[in-house]
Structure 1
């Protein structure tokens, strides 16, 4: 995991408006959200696993699934998951097996990141900062 310095950190946004602004850039709310916190994830690579930009957020007014919820942004970071070799090779065997195989544990949940994903991550953060702050 590599933290990315950003003007987003500590800023407060309407959750619905934030989702609308980030979606065109490939960000979506990750499946591991709770009613009071979660992450916007954007897949930026697939070299020896999957690389993501993750933007954490915490509800400060209401619950995430409620209208009018406002969230405070945490420090964005890059994350690389290196999956077990061979697990994805069998995902095409049908929906029944895919339902079980999708939950395989990564071989390395915090795999090393190289310079291109770091550069791409910073570029993506700068893009969404310019949209959110209307630079």
Structure 2
């Protein structure tokens, strides 16, 4: 994981508007959200089952995430690398995987080593700079 030092931390946004505005930059609401916190994610590199994500975690400060008017406040953004398990899954659910009923496998590594850290840090910080018009 690479923590990013940006001006985004502590900034606020209206959830529905921010979601629509940043979608064109490739960001979307991460799947692990709850009503009072979540993250916006973007894949910034992907190759052979390995992905580097830009993650913008946030907490709700007014409202819940099932309303567009909810106000969110950003926490420290970071980069994370996932290494997917692209082979066969040899556990008790293998039959389900083989017939296509169990499409999700746990990643081999949810926080893999990111080579060339300075380069990726610059990429992440540059992408976040593009989002400053959408926060206050």
| Residue in 2 that maps onto 1:101 | 103
Structure 2: stretches of 5+ with no match in the other structure: 89-98
| Residue in 2 that maps onto 1:17 | 17
C-alpha distance in structure 1 between counterparts of 2:51 and 2:109, whole Å:
11
Q: Secondary structure at the match of 1:107?
A: coil
| Residue in 2 that maps onto 1:45 | 45
Q: Secondary structure at the match of 1:66?
A: coil
Matched, 1:27 2:30: no
Cα offsets for 1:50-78 (capped at 9, x unmatched): 11000001111110112421001111000
Cα offsets for 1:25-54 (capped at 9, x unmatched): 000001110000000000111135111000
Q: What is the root-mean-square deviation in Å for CA atoms of aligned residues?
A: 2.4
Structure 1: stretches of 5+ with no match in the other structure: 88-95
Structure number with greater CO (CA < 8 Å, separation at least 6) is 2
> Which is richer in helix?
1
Matched, 1:113 2:120: no
C-alpha distance in structure 1 between counterparts of 2:126 and 2:115, whole Å:
15
Q: 1:72 to 1:86 in 2, by over 3 A?
A: same
Residue 6 of structure 1, CA deviation: 1.2
Residue 11 of structure 1, CA deviation: 1.0
| Residue in 2 that maps onto 1:93 | none
| Structure 1 contact 44–117 (Cα < 8 Å) conserved | no
The structure 2 residue matched to 1:128, chosen from 102, 127, 131, is 131
C-alpha distance in structure 1 between counterparts of 2:66 and 2:78, whole Å:
24
| Structure 1 contact 84–107 (Cα < 8 Å) conserved | yes
Q: Would you identify which runs of 4 or more consecutive aligned residues in structure 1 move more than 4 Å?
A: none
